[in-house]
Amino acid sequence: MRRVLSVAGLAVFALPVFAATASAGEIGSKYNPDPLSALQTWGIYGGTIVGGFLVAILITAASSRRGGPPRYRPGQPWEHDEVWVGTRPEELEGERSAKAVPGAGGASGNW
């Protein structure tokens, strides 16, 4: 959901930028266009890129300030329930009586 809102927000902010660039009007004629000044060129091509980065930075800063549930950081104790894929080891009840020996594992291992 957050990604959808981010894309929608970027579209809302980008639309006026693209509209302003498209509505710059006629520059010269069809066969003899007037050249852009260096300031206009940097404003159109560089401003679009810089503006995109600024929007991305603002969205990132706004989402990081909201916070959320605390995350696990390396070195902290794990304070959550265990999650097992498959059967828990204590539920096996001796199905695997043999233990793996060093050097017997891997893709062609005997377990």
Residue ranges of domains in the chain: 37-67
41 pLDDT above the threshold of 80: yes
Residue 99 pLDDT grade (very low, low, confident, very high; cuts 50, 70, 90): low
Query: In which element (H, E) is residue 10 found?
Result: helix 2-22
Residues 6 or more apart whose CB falls under 8 angstroms from that of 111 comprise 96, 98, 100, 104, 105
pTM of the predicted model as reported, rounded to 2 decimal places: 0.37
Can you give the pLDDT at residue 53? Answer: 94
How far apart, in whole angstroms, are the C-alpha atoms of residue 31 and residue 33? 6
Instruction: Report d(CA 15, CA 17) in Å as an integer.
Output: 5
Q: Residue 72 corresponds to which tokens in the numbers above?
A: 């696990």
Q: How many residues does the chain have?
A: 111
Of 50 and 70, which is predicted with more confidence? 50
pLDDT band at 74 (very low <50, low <70, confident <90, very high): confident
What is the reported pLDDT for 49?
Answer: 92
